[in-house]
Amino acid sequence: MMVTSCFGVTQGINAEQMKAFKKLLKGLDDGVLATCNIVLFSELVDFDTADQNCKNFNIGSGRGEAGNLATVNDAEKNKDLKTLLEMAYPIAEQPKGKWGQTHWVWGGLRKTEDNNNPDPGPFNPLFWEWADGSNPLWSNWLRSQPDQRSLTQGSSGCTQTVCYQNQMRINHKGQWDDTYTFKVHPYACDYRGKYILSKSPKTWHGAKAACEEAGLHLAKIRNVEEVEEIKQAAVYFLGQADPTWGIWDKNNWIWTGGSDAATEGDWRWLDNTPVEDWKLPWRRRAGNDNAGRRGQHVLSISRWGEFDDSRWKKKRPFACQCPGS
């Protein structure tokens, strides 16, 4: 499942915004949860699989660079991750004990120096790295962790001559632990995308309010690259389209923040910047037709990247935009 939010983008998000953000994510049952900083996948995998999956997750990179396991380099981002883990696997519903698979989520910190030392001593940040090669300037280890215990081949799942605890995982309290690469947990990737999509169908005004309550705003789509990004995001956030849906099925269309309510034909985003600063790919014979007296004054985008003017009261999924993007 993927869950997304703006936690960590703006410092000091308040409780009401957090509550509103959880509402946005309601019904995201396809294994993905995200914030504007982090995407959590609820699938249980080993560390190497998580690492590769995150490299393949590159929404918002712009130039197709590989993604990476989450860089949790401050308290706000750590808070994001423990919030997503709680949403994906509520602690009250997990098996008793603190070492179970769903009590933890993989982060991107790994030990790259002094790996085979049987007596490693206390935590040395110079021996640990994030995906970009930087050392951790902030950490939140459990008491007495990392302890760098080892296993010999054939013990508790170890298939190498010796297995060391060179990877980091995070629990529901946001505490860190070092563990073995063969353990399986959900995992988190850094999210560089602009958009958080909600599966809960709302009217255009309802969608606008829901985004604003979470500290976001209805999406702007300003070029071909952003069309492609929101198409990719729709697959992760809303799931694959059903081939039996008709063209105008509500699940094929996503509310954005465009409107021509003030002046017919003059399409504006919510910040009053023009929608059509670029050649908008309108739906042929349908997009921007205004449909007579009832008026179609708000903008939606299809899963395949066409735009249509629509009526306020239709209920559809919607896209919120991360601050500063």
Would you state the pLDDT for residue 129?
Answer: 97
More confident: 119 or 92: 92
Quickly state the pLDDT bin for 15 (edges 50, 70, 90).
Answer: low
| pLDDT score, position 69 | 96
Which pair of structure tokens corresponds to residue 24?
Answer: 């946005």
193: amino acid identity, one letter: G
- 239: phi then psi, degrees, rounded to nearest 5: 90, 170
* Confidence (pLDDT) at 9: 40
Residues 31-43, mean pLDDT to the nearest whole number: 86
- Using one digit for the tens of pLDDT, what is the confidence trace for 168-200? 999 999 999 999 999 999 999 999 899 999 988
Q: Name the residue with higher pLDDT: 80 or 227.
A: 227
Model's pTM, two decimal places?
Answer: 0.84
Note whether 102 and 44 are within 8 A (CB): yes
Model pLDDT, residue 5 = 38
Q: List the beta bridge partners of residue 7.
A: 10
Residue 294 binned pLDDT confidence (cut-offs 50, 70, 90): low
Q: Which helix (H) or strand (E) holds 237?
A: helix 224-238
- The answer to whether residue 12 scores a pLDDT higher than 50 is no
Pairing between strand 38-45 and 185-190? antiparallel
Average predicted confidence (pLDDT) for the chain = 87
Q: CA 259 → CA 26, 99, 194, 218, 249, distances in Å?
A: 26, 51, 20, 11, 21
- Please give the Cα distance from 144 to 79 (Å, whole number): 21
Per-residue pLDDT at 101? 96
Q: Within 13 Å, how many C-alpha atoms sit on residue 11's CB side?
A: 2
User: Who has greater pLDDT, 241 or 293?
Assistant: 241
Pairing assessment for the beta strands 167-171 and 176-179 based on DSSP bridges: antiparallel
Q: Which two tokens stand for residue 231?
A: 């198409």
Region 306-325: mean pLDDT is 93
Distances (CA, A) of 49 to 54, 69, 89, 150: 9, 11, 20, 21
Candidates 227, 190, 252, 229; CA nearest to 57 is 190
pLDDT at res. 220: 96
Pair of tokens at residue 29: 């049952």
4-18, 254-268, 301-315: least confidently modelled range: 4-18
Q: Is the pLDDT of residue 149 over 60?
A: yes
**What pLDDT was estimated at residue 152?**
87
The kind and range of the H/E element at 321 are strand 316-321
Share of the chain above pLDDT 90, in %: 60
Predicted local distance difference test score (pLDDT) of residue 7:
39
Strands 104-111 and 167-171: antiparallel
pLDDT at 49 over 80: yes
Averaged pLDDT, 18-31: 65
Q: What is the pLDDT of residue 223?
A: 94
Cβ proximity of 9 and 38 under 8 Å = no
The CA distance from 79 to 172, in Å, is 10
> What is the Cα–Cα distance from 225 to 230, expressed in whole angstroms?
9
Of 250, 236, 243, the closest CA to residue 196 belongs to 236
Angle made by CA atoms 135, 45, 61, in degrees to the nearest 5: 55
Domains of the chain: 37-190 (3.10.100.10), 197-321 (3.10.100.10)
Q: At 6, is the pLDDT very low, low, confident or very high (cuts 50, 70, 90)?
A: very low
Higher pLDDT pick, 285 / 200: 200
Q: What is the pLDDT averaged over residues 247-275? A: 94
pLDDT-based confidence at residue 25 (cuts at 50, 70, 90):
low
**Residue with tokens 């690469």, as numbered in its chain:** 181
Query: Which has more pLDDT, 110 or 21?
Result: 110
277 compared with 270, residue with greater pLDDT? 270
Residue whose C-alpha is closest to residue 258's, from 232, 226, 292, 236: 226
